[in-house]
Amino acid sequence: MIENDDWGVASMRHPKSLRLLLHLLQLLLLIALIGATATQTWSSIAFEIQATDGAPTGFREDCCTPFGIGAELNISQNVSDVDLSLSGPTAMAYWQSKRVNEVVITQDEEEREELWGNNSYNLSEVQTGLPQGVKIVTAISAVVLFIHLLGYQRRWIPGLILNLALFALIVAFVIMPTLGWFGGFDIESKGTGGGSLDLEHEMIVTDFDFSSESLDFHFNVSGFDLAMANESEQQHISTNLTSADVDHMAFIAFDGSFSLTFTPLVQDLMLIWLVVFTLIPLALIAIERVEIDLPSQLEE
């Protein structure tokens, strides 16, 4: 019986030592993350939209290159590099020459402002806030290590908080730079000819692909450009037409894609979170449970 007790005490020291080393490793990795955040690219974004129907494709079929616009964006703590491309300037000029009418059909401005115009984030705030988030998660890791040294019985609670905090940080690195970049645009829909775009009977079809390296979002937007129609025709479009009336002179359509590539920083964070902050702690919990139950089984 004494030998079994001595064996149990000795065996319990092993996972406790491993857990201490694990907490030290977690803290060191997060400290290294502070430096990586300042030097590596956070987010890589590619956006493209191309006209597929109507005036933005040109004044007649195959006359010119359809209007399109693309952008590639790389965001880090101090830099946001943007590479813009424009295709079909002739088709764009033709389209804009047709957009000469004041839009009189009432649009749902409140819904559009909620979708586009009230983004509370901007890129400079994100570039300041994410490094602070890294420091906060690092501080939580230091607290978890200190709690372990004190011998707190329910160490899984602060460990779970650390795990969730790091996961939230990874999600922030994925989506916040994008929101911050788009938040810098003041997108309105005031309905003046030649200005922002008002589509009646607007239809949006979306699809997406997800992989370990990127998130790709595809969409098609179509509808009737009210600025291309006079007042009476706008009323006719609103009352009598549907999205199926693609032959109308005001009908336009665009295909677009949005690709968010997971940078090496984000991929490393995902791997660290999965292995060092999730799988290894779960394995240690399983080992501790086995070594608690085993002496009891031997006594029986």
* 7 part of a folded domain: no
Residue 30: give the domain boundaries: 23-291
* Burial (CB count <10 Å: 0-12, 13-18, 19+), residue 208: exposed
Give the per-residue pLDDT at 109.
52
pTM exceeds 0.85: no
Return the closest-CA partner of residue 29 out of 280, 257, 253: 280
DSSP code of residue 55:
G
Residues of the chain short of pLDDT 50, as ranges, are 1-12, 114-117, 186-194, 298
Give the per-residue pLDDT at 184.
61
Give the per-residue pLDDT at 141.
94
Give the per-residue pLDDT at 50.
95
Q: How far apart are CA 155 and CA 93, in angstroms?
A: 65
Give the per-residue pLDDT at 148.
83
**What is the count of structural domains for the chain?**
1
pLDDT tens per residue across span 90-106: 999 999 999 988 888 76
Q: How far apart are CA 238 and CA 233, in angstroms?
A: 9
